Amino acid sequence: MPTILVLEDDSATRNGLVDILRQLYAGARVASARSDAAPGIMAVERPDVALASLPAVERLSGGGAPPGVPVVALTREMSPDTLMKAETLGATGVLRTPAGAEQVAAVLGPILDALPH
């Protein structure tokens, strides 16, 4: 199973996502850190996919994300400007937080399915 990294400053959001990910993907290794830990934590954890706040996505887009690692942007709002910013930064997808298991699975499932096994 994959390694999933959550990069989010809000501890309630971060911990909630970690709990959901562990329930949905019991065999996955789930790690988390504050967004300011990006990109250094990417090198340490070597995730297969990362869920990251927009500030973390910005840090990663500056060369901190290893090539080929999909990054899902976490945001509280889904305005056209926010979606365009996430796309411009190279995010593979966008997840509105707080998110439930159904939303996480809908966004992350296809990404995980596309990973090499």
What is the residue range of 22's domain? 3-114
Query: What pLDDT shows up at residue 65?
Result: 67
DSSP secondary structure letter of residue 66: P
What total number of domains does the chain contain? Answer: 1
- For residues 52-78, one letter each, b for 16 or more C-beta atoms within 10 angstroms of the residue's C-beta and e for the rest, the string is bbbbbbbbbbeebbeeebbbbbbbeee
Q: Is the pLDDT of residue 6 over 90?
A: yes
Identify the CATH number of the domain in which residue 110 sits: 3.40.50.2300
Taking only the tens place, the pLDDT of each residue in 38-71 is: 878 888 899 999 999 999 998 888 766 677 899 9
Q: Between vectors from CA 59 to CA 62 and to CA 75, what angle results, nearest 5°?
A: 130
Please tell me the distance from the alpha carbon of residue 58 to that of residue 35, in angstroms, as a whole number: 10
Output the pTM of the full model.
0.93
